[in-house]
Amino acid sequence: MEAEQQKPQRPRRKAQKRRIDDEAAASAAAAAAAAAAAAAAAAAVSSPLGSADADDDNEDDEGSVGPEICCRQSQAAVAREVRTQVDALHHCFSWRHADRATAKRATSVLAELAKNEEMVNVIVEGGAVPALVCHLKVPPMAAAVEEEQQPRPFEHEVEKGAAFALGLLAVKPEHQQLIVDAGALPLLVTLLRRHKNATNSRAVNSLIRRAADAITNLAHENSNIKTCIRIEGGIPPLVELLESQDIKVQRAAAGALRTLAFKNDENKTLIVDCNALPTLILMLRSEDAAIHYEAVGVIGNLVHSSPNIKKEVLNAGALQPVIGLLSSCCTESQREAALLLGQFASADSECKVHIVQRGAVRPLIDMLQSADFQLREMSAFALGRLAQDTHNQAGIAYNGGLLPLLKLLDSKNGSLQHNAAFALYGVADNEDYVSDFVKVGGVQKLQDGEFIVQATKDCVAKTLKRLEEKINGRVLKHLVYLMRVGEKSVQRRVALALAHLCAPEDQRTIFIDNNGLDLLLDLLVSVSSKHQQDGSVALYKLANKAAALSPMDAAPPSPTPQVYLGEQYVNSSTLSDVTFLVEGKRFYAHRIALLASSDAFRAMFDGGYREKDARDIEIPNIRWDVFELMMRFIYTGSVEVTNELAQDLLRAADQYLLEGLKRLCEYTIAQDVNLDNVSDMYDLSEAFHAMSLRHTCVLFILEQFDKICTRPGFSQLIQRVIPELRNFFAKALRPSHRSAQP
């Protein structure tokens, strides 16, 4: 089953409030000050055209900061101010110079107040929305004035102020529908078309930007309003405005289209049908960062979950300019370009190859090391998609992608982790770079990682499985070569990886014939606790793969087949021909049973020992209950060994060479090995030649290494265990039927 990639969320685009603030901070603040001072108001209305030009100049001064009324007034005072301005708007809807000046001042004051989101509700509750919507359209012109073609006071300025204020109010989602219900949409769409018959292009461009920004904020994450804007005819004029000579108008139009295209298939289709793609692709090559950022955002939203549009975008020539944006000085454009390339890469395998051939891999890998989190996430997403093609896997590895991708596995963000893991899953499929994967410590990184989401854990498990399947043939030969001649750190990484991933039939060739075992054992005595832990885990894995079951879990083998006298003759005087004296008590036995049980008794009764002809034989060093159990085993071939008697019974079984009984005792003792007694149990196994118990202790030490290493006497215990580990693996690892040597 293939691993799956988590698609990162396109960075949520904030409403246009920030940009509006930057462009008009000075003008709105100046208007607010004018509302507070009659003298300033009189100055503001003295020259309509001059005022408009000055206002537009202030918009371009993004560094200016004006006073904010809302910071100086309480909510009650703001509410009174709002009512005053709303009343003014209701009574000044005409072309009279004084009315237009009042309307301009009122819209500017409301916009300044709306810049503080805490005051937005107060403004809306004060009835500002219908008053502002009313001033999105021009008042009726008297016939005589129209015939004389007199200058219209503050032409475009009042509508701009109203659109500006409504756009700020729309930043709060709960007010979006209220503004639409008040009739704002058709009026805003009409404002977008005002450039066609306007004479004052600068003022008109400023108005159009405000209208486009208001549409953006109204449609932000509101699917119903997006549809309404399309129905009202808002998309065609926005597409036309992409070709405006004013860069800020282009940016505002692209921003609106970007919002309208997001998760709205009908809007996407209409934008493409209006022939927006050629202009958007030209905008990708703009030297203005704000322009290509908006353009790549529009294209990204157009192709999102739309395979047909994706093909149209690629056919229109978007691929190369998008790749070019990976090297942009604008971080936001880089993010969008990386995400878009990831979407392109899902189209088909041929597209994946084209992306790599045109130079995308190197900048994407550089982005993996960026300080910007979203930039790392988007580039990992794109590389994850690209890495699912065999040719691209080589390109990613060759250009140094392995290390930064592995480093991202340490991220505390689940999405970033997963995208990096998915890219590594792809690279692991290329056997030409499996050795590189192992060489840089990739296997240990995958094994040691703390992964946040289950999907990442599953992906990592599949990657390790994929690597395991590649460890054969020329890949294995190369790894064994590196393990012999590489730098010490590389040798260790290879040995650790092979302990986990190699096939059982290759273990002896790797670890005995090519000294891989020595590398792992050296790690156990390293001064680095991490090396010690890695070595113990690898050795434990290797031991478990070498045997179907570990000694701790394996039941003792059946005793050697032989004929037993049976339970009824245990300590029975019937036909007894020898008596043992144990703790002053007689124990009746039969020489024939003893001779058949072990070499020790055969030597006792057939050799030159004094016990040969003795009728009573004293047993000075074994307790009665232990001796009785030993004899019961001799007569029946089985016995239940309890923890209380197991160690004493082991001593007796070793003394009288009863191998079957020893195995039973070892098995019982092995079930009770723990952190507190493992050192004593290892001593016991050495004292009485209990190989099975010794192996159990060794494997327990490896398995619980992280806990044992903090206990007193740990270093001495490890030094004693290492020779036994060599013996264990020399016997446990089967000879290989195929050679891994180069």
- Quick one: pLDDT at residue 601? 85
82, 85, 86, 87: CA torsion to nearest 10:
120
For 285-348, where are the alpha helices, taking DSSP H only?
A: 289-303, 307-315, 319-325, 331-345
The answer to whether the beta carbons of residues 132 and 107 sit under 8 Å apart is: yes
Phi, psi of 617 (to 5 degrees): -120, 125
The answer to whether the beta carbons of residues 714 and 708 sit under 8 Å apart is: yes
Residues 6+ apart with CB under 8 A from 342: 7, 378, 381, 382, 384, 385, 386
Query: Residue 582 in 3-state DSSP?
Result: strand
Residue 27 banded pLDDT, cuts 50, 70, 90: very low
- Quick one: pLDDT at residue 74? 81
Q: What is the pLDDT of residues 90-99, one digit of tens each?
A: 999 999 999 9
Q: Mean pLDDT over all residues of the chain?
A: 86
How many angstroms separate the Cα of 663 from the Cα of each of 316, 601, 635, 655? 78, 19, 17, 14
The answer to whether the beta carbons of residues 729 and 542 sit under 8 Å apart is: yes
Query: Residue 737 in 3-state DSSP?
Result: coil
Strand order in the sheet with 585-589: 585-589, 578-582, 616-619
Q: What is the pLDDT of residues 177-186, one digit of tens each?
A: 999 999 999 9
User: Does 465 or 8 have the greater pLDDT score?
Assistant: 465
How many angstroms separate the Cα of 380 from the Cα of each of 260, 334, 372, 738? 27, 13, 13, 39
User: Does 148 or 169 have the greater pLDDT score?
Assistant: 169
User: Does 145 or 387 have the greater pLDDT score?
Assistant: 387
Q: Taking residues 271-283, report their average pLDDT.
A: 97
Q: What is the pLDDT of residues 190-249, one digit of tens each?
A: 999 987 765 558 889 999 999 999 999 999 999 999 999 999 999 999 999 999 999 999
Rounded CA-CA distance 490/485 in Å is: 9
Q: What is the pLDDT of residues 353-383, one digit of tens each?
A: 899 999 999 999 999 999 999 999 999 999 9
Dihedral of alpha carbons 453, 337, 225, 108, sign = positive
Determine the CATH number of domain 552-642: 3.30.710.10
Residue 319 banded pLDDT, cuts 50, 70, 90: very high
Q: What DSSP character marks residue 171?
A: T
- Quick one: pLDDT at residue 608? 60
Q: What is the pLDDT of residues 345-360, one digit of tens each?
A: 986 778 888 999 999 9
pLDDT at 266 over 90: yes
Q: Enumerate the domain spans of the chain.
A: 552-642
The answer to whether the beta carbons of residues 378 and 335 sit under 8 Å apart is: yes
pLDDT at 6 over 70: no
Q: What percent of the chain has pLDDT over 90?
A: 67
Residue 22 banded pLDDT, cuts 50, 70, 90: very low
pTM above 0.95? no
